[in-house]
Amino acid sequence: MPRLRITWRKSAIGYRRDQKDTIRALGLKRLGHTVEHEDTPAIRGMVFKVRHLVTVEEVKD
């Protein structure tokens, strides 16, 4: 299964609380932090919600 590499690129200051919670739920701790997740519909939905704050790359295993 492909994986997604998600990097937090833009500050969440000034955005709604639910978007900040989504950033945390993705496992991102600080600006510039990168995490990898399995490419599932749930993760895709979370990324879609904060797409203006993160960058996403598909990683082939």
CA distances from 22 to 1, 13, 39, 56 (A): 23, 13, 16, 15
Nearest by Cα to 36 from 22, 46, 28: 28
pTM: 0.93
Does residue 56 surpass a pLDDT of 90?
yes
Name the residue type at position 1.
M
pLDDT at 60: 85
Strand partners, 6: 35, 56
Dump pLDDT digits (tens) for 4-49.
999 999 999 999 999 999 999 999 999 999 999 999 999 999 999 9
Residue 24 to residue 59: CA distance in whole angstroms: 21
Structure tokens given for 19: 């978007």
